[in-house]
Amino acid sequence: MTAQIITIGDELLIGQTIDTNSAWIGAELTKTGFDVTRRISIHDLRDDIIDTLNEVSGRSDVILITGGLGPTSDDITKQTLCEFFETRFVTDYDVLEMIEGMMKRRGFPMNDNNRRQAEVPESCRVLKNATGTAPGMWFEKQGSIFISMPGVPYEMKYIMQEHVLPELNKRFSSRSIKLKNIMTYGAPEALLAELLTGFEASLPGEIKLAYLPSSGIIKLRLTAKGDKTNLPDEMLQQQVEKLYRTIPELIIAEDEENFETVIGKLLREKGLSVCTSESCTGGRIAHMLTSVPGSSAYYHGSVIAYDNKVKTSLLGVPQNVIDRYGAVSSETVALMAEGARKILQTDFSVATSGIAGPDGGTETKPVGTLWTAVSSASGTITQTYRFGTERSVNILRFSTASLHLLWKQISGL
Amino acid sequence: MTAQIITIGDELLIGQTIDTNSAWIGAELTKTGFDVTRRISIHDLRDDIIDTLNEVSGRSDVILITGGLGPTSDDITKQTLCEFFETRFVTDYDVLEMIEGMMKRRGFPMNDNNRRQAEVPESCRVLKNATGTAPGMWFEKQGSIFISMPGVPYEMKYIMQEHVLPELNKRFSSRSIKLKNIMTYGAPEALLAELLTGFEASLPGEIKLAYLPSSGIIKLRLTAKGDKTNLPDEMLQQQVEKLYRTIPELIIAEDEENFETVIGKLLREKGLSVCTSESCTGGRIAHMLTSVPGSSAYYHGSVIAYDNKVKTSLLGVPQNVIDRYGAVSSETVALMAEGARKILQTDFSVATSGIAGPDGGTETKPVGTLWTAVSSASGTITQTYRFGTERSVNILRFSTASLHLLWKQISGL
């Protein structure tokens, strides 16, 4: 059970668009039991599309294709598929009706570009798209299934969830593959690998371990391939327990992607609330926490004090503290956390002050310096970190480090 | 002058990591005049790596490879390259010294995994990495240059900027390709394409037009290929002027990616300041604005009023306004913008209140409803929008729509 993903679009090759579709499709297919062997991105060029289709045809069970189905003239996927599968265009009146309804609701006039989107290759099965004007298409040839979908992420996701995944689940009696992700924080990759040398060496052959570092968090992924005599779930569970014995202080959670979801669950369970006051992270922590659906149950809000005046006027940090210790200091960040907790009326509060760069660094406080504080009824603790020189990386690593400190306090470690 | 990009790592295929490296490398190579013809992602498997290297070898001038150079056992790119180029490992003592220094500064002990990172294939040129423990490698074979770099984005970027791009610029007398990006907002793709039918039909053969939609913003990319008799710069300039005559009200900026950079430039030029007060966008707008280096010059801060109590206590929205009109209303969002502008002392203020989903929608205010307001000395204006049902998409589209309103007010349209 193998799959390949082809994403079509000049914008992917010249780097104007990051290919998030491939990642999402890869994750969904993996869950369904497929081994995604390859992802390919190519230009909106007939020859490149035909060459690639010929290359993958018959070599994988399923080929998922996104992109190039828009209404504009640079979108040529549909006619190229029509050519590849040696068929012709017909109008799908159900699709036409859907597009007409959609344009009406949005208050835009129907034009020829829209009408052309209801033309589909005769030999395909049309996969209706309730979220946009380009339908998906399902073809079969030489033992491979080819599925073409729009490149707009939420349209692709709709078609995958509504049509493709249910059908693939039915058609392929899934092989027994199970994954377990263990989220760790606090040790760099080489050190973590050293700590896990013995663990790795003693892994059974059916289980593979991978390290996935991402802005400070390293996820350990265990993949087990088993059958009815050797259930992958059981094998995995044994190894997870062994991991907990090997690196107890580094494991944050299982099957979680990030601190914001872990913290969200903890706060819900304990019926507690949190607020933020951010300087250098400029709203990033707030954005991470509120990305979680239902976060309004425990997240009250934030004061983003980018300007020092806001630290004094809203958060009540005395000007003489800032003058004496600096805005980037243990003293200031502690008072920010306490001030925010008071005015936003929460159980916990996390604050940041640091130098994200590229400018603003000094000899003693270079770019990459962070002070973070967590305040609660049991007191306020602060911590400092030194990261690198790249602004966007720093903003993310500052946020992750602060959420780690918050998580430790909430979970009472 | 063609290039291909190969990214190696199971995490890319199972979708745990989004391949941002390919996008960045693609953009840099395009600027240098290369046509990036293909991007391929494959597993950390010897056979897949060898097959792919054989496939691309001799078919492109340059092949850029990232990933699989880490210190852990699932990283096998280096030994596979050693095998492919029929060479052997030698220790690079300069690299060893760098790694020792780096581990010392970070306060972690040096271990065998770190030492192995100083072993390099004998036939390659080593590209030093000051940002991490894995060096880059430069090989040549059958007329193609192969460059292998770590998958950690800032390490890859360091090696590209320090070694690869300067060397490629020297080696290849770049063909004359110029790009121009025009950022538009306000018309969906099919309508935009209709408005530009005549423009597209009259484009000279050397110029190509592409549409790049991304959460409400559609970038128009014009690509010109010219030579000394027909300078691409001049050709482009003519077409850009024509675009301004065709869709004047939809063009936001040239060669800009997003509203936050456009707004940042405007505020700097005019010496004005801005603040935000966010409910449904939960800090996303603040994060976008503060992603821009130097944004502290014009961005004062934000009150994120996720909880309605914060709207009354900090922003001064009277409880009876919220009771009468609801938190998601023109009245509330206007008072939020005015309140924030007062306490954060700025020239402009932008506020949001809406329903991002998945829950919280009602018959009259379904999920996807946004109210946004911009306040300044000349008054407060509000606007409402209705987007879709997906939380993360809504948060982004709400933010973009609000920044559009802010941009219109600042630029005085």
Total structural domains within chain B: 3
Q: How far is CA B43 from CA A174, A193, B38, B152, B314, in A?
A: 21, 20, 17, 16, 52
What mean pLDDT do residues A316-340 have?
A: 97
Q: pLDDT at position B85, please? A: 96
pLDDT tops 70 at residue A377: yes
Q: pLDDT at position B255, please? A: 87
Task: Find, in chain A, the residue whose alpha carbon is nearest to that of B116.
Answer: A190
Instruction: Looking at the structure, tell me whether residues A282 and A404 fall in a common domain.
Output: yes
Instruction: Looking at the structure, tell me whether residues B223 and B131 fall in a common domain.
Output: no
How far apart are alpha carbons B119 and B108 in whole angstroms? 20
pLDDT tops 60 at residue A122: yes
Q: pLDDT at position B90, please? A: 96
Instruction: Looking at the structure, tell me whether residues B353 and B293 fall in a common domain.
Output: yes
pTM for the structure as a whole: 0.78
A109 vs B contacts (CB less than 8 Å): 191
What mean pLDDT do residues B205-214 have?
A: 84
Instruction: Looking at the structure, tell me whether residues A8 and A157 fall in a common domain.
Output: yes
Q: pLDDT at position B149, please? A: 98
Which range among A173-177, A310-314, A404-408 shows the weakest confidence by mean pLDDT? A173-177
Label each residue of chain A as H, E or C.
CEEEEEEECHHHHCCCCCEHHHHHHHHHHHHCCCEEEEEEEECCCHHHHHHHHHHHCCCCCEEEEECCCCCCCCCCHHHHHHHHCCCCEEECHHHHHHHHHHHHHHCCCCCHHHHHCCEEECCCEEECCCCCCCCEEEEEECCEEEEEECCCHHHHHHHHHHHHHHHHHHHCCCCEEEEEEEEEECCCHHHHHHHCHHHHHCCCCCEEEEEEEECCEEEEEEEEEEECCECHHHHHHHHHHHHHHHCHHHEEEECCCCHHHHHHHHHHHHCCCEEEEECCCCCHHHHHHHCCCCHHHCEEEEEEECCHHHHHHCCCCCHHHHHHHCCCCHHHHHHHHHHHHHHHCCCEEEEEEECCCCCCCCCCCCCCEEEEEEEECCEEEEEEEECCCCHHHHHHHHHHHHHHHHHHHHCCC
Mean pLDDT of chain B: 92
Domain boundary among the residues B239, B254, B269 is at B254
Question: What is the CATH number for B329?
Answer: 3.90.950.20
Instruction: Looking at the structure, tell me whether residues B218 and B250 fall in a common domain.
Output: yes
Which range among A222-226, A296-300, B283-287, B379-383 shows the weakest confidence by mean pLDDT? A222-226
B22 vs A contacts (CB less than 8 Å): 12, 15, 19, 41
pLDDT band for A174, please (50, 70, 90 cuts).
Answer: low
Instruction: Looking at the structure, tell me whether residues A243 and A270 fall in a common domain.
Output: no
Portion of chain B with pLDDT greater than 90, in percent:
73
Instruction: Looking at the structure, tell me whether residues B181 and B307 fall in a common domain.
Output: no
Interface test with A, best of B302, B352, B353 (most A CBs within 10 A): B302
The strand pairing partners of B304, in sequence order, are: A302, B278
B190 and A296 in contact by Cβ < 8 A? no
Instruction: Looking at the structure, tell me whether residues A50 and A135 fall in a common domain.
Output: yes
Question: What is the CATH number for B207?
Answer: 3.30.70.2860
pLDDT band for B228, please (50, 70, 90 cuts).
Answer: low
Question: What is the CATH number for A54?
Answer: 3.40.980.10
Query: Contact A3/A38 with Cβ under 8 angstroms?
Result: no
pLDDT tops 80 at residue B253: yes
Interface test with A, best of B8, B16, B103 (most A CBs within 10 A): B16
Domain of residue A180 covers 176-254
Q: What is the per-residue pLDDT across B18-58, written as a single tens digit (0 to 9) for each?
A: 899 999 999 899 878 889 999 999 999 999 999 999 999 98
Instruction: Looking at the structure, tell me whether residues A278 and A377 fall in a common domain.
Output: yes
Q: What is the per-residue pLDDT across B135-184, written as a single tens digit (0 to 9) for each?
A: 999 999 988 999 999 998 889 999 999 999 999 988 886 556 788 999 99
Domain boundary among the residues A187, A220, A254 is at A254
Instruction: Looking at the structure, tell me whether residues B242 and B305 fall in a common domain.
Output: no
Which range among A36-40, A371-375, B69-73, B156-160 shows the weakest confidence by mean pLDDT? B69-73
Q: pLDDT at position B170, please? A: 86
Q: What does the DSSP 8-state code read for residue B259?
A: H
pLDDT tops 90 at residue B335: yes
Q: pLDDT at position B229, please? A: 67
Q: pLDDT at position A227, please? A: 67
A189 and B72 in contact by Cβ < 8 A? yes
Q: pLDDT at position A257, please? A: 80
Instruction: Looking at the structure, tell me whether residues B232 and B304 fall in a common domain.
Output: no
pLDDT tops 90 at residue B120: yes
Helix (H, G, I), strand (E, B) or coil at B21: helix
Q: What is the per-residue pLDDT across A329-369, written as a single tens digit (0 to 9) for each?
A: 999 999 999 999 999 999 999 999 999 999 999 999 999 99
Instruction: Looking at the structure, tell me whether residues A320 and A356 fall in a common domain.
Output: yes
Q: How far is A380 from chain B (nearest CA, A)?
A: 22
B26 and A10 in contact by Cβ < 8 A? no
Domain boundary among the residues A171, A204, A226 is at A171
pLDDT tops 90 at residue A255: no
HSE of A333, CA atoms in CB hemisphere, 13 A: 24
Question: In which region does residue A360 sit, left (phi positive, over 0), alpha (psi from -120 to 50) or beta (all else)?
Answer: left
Query: Contact A341/A275 with Cβ under 8 angstroms?
Result: yes
Query: Contact B281/B352 with Cβ under 8 angstroms?
Result: yes
Which range among A137-151, B208-222, B296-310, B379-393 shows the weakest confidence by mean pLDDT? B208-222
Helix (H, G, I), strand (E, B) or coil at B202: coil
Interface test with B, best of A5, A40, A41, A387 (most B CBs within 10 A): A41
